[in-house]
Amino acid sequence: MKIRDNYTCPLEIAHDIIKGKWKAIILFQLQYGNTSLSKLQQDIEGINQKMLLQQLKELQEFGLVGKHNFEGYPLHVEYYLTADRGMKMLKAINIMQEIGVDYMVEHGLTDFLDKKGICYK
């Protein structure tokens, strides 16, 4: 993903970095620790491997996600949040999650939260 040349404020850059359907969800899942591509794909309902790889690549380019390649066979790769920018962005995403939960509770959408095991009380 290409960053625009002209911005009116820094918030536009942060928005561009995580915009789209999957990036915030990927970062949210990575809060639980290093994980493999297959585990991420399993944990993120509806994402396919091609899209996941593309989004992870972009998150790596922006310094939010890192990647460990382990030697040996079979090939093993793990993805993780970077200590600086990735963890900082996670704070914002967790706040966004809380706002989403609050909205769902206010609008009687708690069945979904119950199904997913998301605490809201």
Separation of alpha carbons 82 and 65, rounded Å? 5
Domain ranges of the chain: 10-116
The pTM score is 0.89
Give the pLDDT score at 1: 65
58 C-beta neighbours (distance < 10 Å), count: 18
pLDDT exceeds cutoff 90 at 121: no
What's the confidence (pLDDT) of residue 29? 97
Q: What is the mean pLDDT of residues 36-55?
A: 97
Q: What is the dihedral of CA 109, 112, 114, 116, to 10 degrees?
A: -150
Higher pLDDT, 107 or 3: 107
- What local confidence, expressed as pLDDT, does residue 4 receive? 76
Phi, psi of 17 (to 5 degrees): -65, -40
Give the least confident one: 5-9, 37-41, 65-69, 83-87: 5-9
Look up residue 16 and give its two tokens: 């561009």
pLDDT of residue 9: 92
CATH of 10-116, one of 1.20.1630.10, 1.10.10.10, 3.20.20.70, 1.20.1440.230: 1.10.10.10
User: Is it the case that residue 2 has pLDDT exceeding 70?
Assistant: no
Q: What is the DSSP string of 26-83?
A: HHHHHTT--B-HHHHHHHSTT--HHHHHHHHHHHHHTTSEEEEEEPSSS-EEEEEE-T
